[in-house]
Amino acid sequence: MEIDYATLTPHERYKLLVAAVTPRPIALVSTADLEGRYNVAPFSFFNAISDDPPAVAIGVNSSRPGHVKDTARNIRSSGEFVVNLVDDSIAAGMNQCGVDYPPDVDEFDLAGFTPLPGVKVAAPRVAQAPIALECRRLVNVELGIGRNVVIGEVVYMHVRDELFDPEKLYIHAERAGLIGRMHGAGWYARTTDLFNMPRATGS
Ligand SMILES: Cc1cc2nc3c(=O)[nH]c(=O)nc-3n(C[C@H](O)[C@H](O)[C@H](O)COP(=O)(O)O)c2cc1C
């Protein structure tokens, strides 16, 4: 099948794109506004994109014309955010946080998450997350109307003790049990079906 994107509506483009690029890691992004109110929301237009500076990117898209998501507003005003990685145990809470609540709703409460203060940023992190990345905004790229990619530098990392080997400076990623977002309404993937392929050397 050949599909010319020019023939599609925005919704159709979205639907096919997110079904083609799978699985996508999920950033459960926690932020604080200038009054110190907390916000948490999931984003699967997300990945690590650079090691020096260590950087992640998050695609924040308006759900309706003129609407700015709390996450985008808080990052715009504070320049800081935390990416909490998502495992099975916080998947349902993460899903709760994906509802478009007004700014005064604290999704930490709704999802049963415990906020912990950031070490290097004013944004809180989710205590229940296996891994959390404290980030400072490097740049915001406006791709289209209400379509922003926030690129943040990772300035501090929290890893659950049992996932980390300090002697080897090694994260046991296979034990973290992170989930990814798949296609359509509500499909997710687990990182339990792994295989190892040593890196080709070319010789
Ligand atoms: C698994 C999942 C992934 C999502 N990924 C994105 C995304 O990449 N970009 C986006 O703009 N919204 C995404 N959403 C929707 C936002 O989480 C939702 O609009 C949320 O209400 C935004 O909250 P906020 O206004 O508190 O920032 C996703 C929702 C879920 C459940």
Q: Which of 17, 43, 73, 95 to mutate to test the pocket of ligand 1 (most atoms within 8 A of CB)?
A: 43
**pLDDT (tens digit per residue) in 49-64:** 999 999 999 999 998 8
189 DSSP 8-state letter: E
Ligand 1 environment, Cβ below 6 A: 26, 39, 41-45, 59-61, 63, 69-71, 95, 98-100, 181
Instruction: Specify the length of the chain in residues.
Output: 203
- Averaged confidence pLDDT in the chain: 96
> For residues 83 and 41, what is the distance between their CA atoms, to the nearest angstrom?
10
Q: Flag whether pLDDT at 102 surpasses 90.
A: no
Where do we find the tokens 């922003």? Answer: 148
> For residues 151 and 140, what is the distance between their CA atoms, to the nearest angstrom?
6
> For residues 71 and 76, what is the distance between their CA atoms, to the nearest angstrom?
8
Taking the whole predicted model, whether its pTM rises above 0.95 is answered as yes
Domain definitions of the chain by residue range: 23-189
Instruction: Work out which ligand 1 atom sits closest to the CA atom of 40.
Output: 26
Residue nearest to atom 23 of ligand 1 (CA): 41
Residue 124 near residue 118, CB atoms below 8 Å: yes
CATH domain 23-189 topology? Pnp Oxidase; Chain A (2.30.110)
**pLDDT (tens digit per residue) in 117-168:** 999 999 999 999 999 999 999 999 999 999 999 999 999 999 999 999 999 9
Distance of CA 64 to the CA centre of its chain: 21
Instruction: Pick the more confident residue, 100 or 93.
Output: 93
Please compute Rg for the chain using Cα positions: 18
Distance 40 CA to ligand 1 centre (A): 10
Rounded to 5 degrees, φ, ψ at 88 are -55, -40
Q: Which of 69, 82, 85, 90 to mutate to test the pocket of ligand 1 (most atoms within 8 A of CB)?
A: 69
* SS3 label, residue 75: helix
Residue 177 near residue 130, CB atoms below 8 Å: yes
The CA–CA distances, whole Å, from 70 to 7, 129, 184, 201 equal 32, 21, 24, 46
Distance 41 CA to ligand 1 centre (A): 6
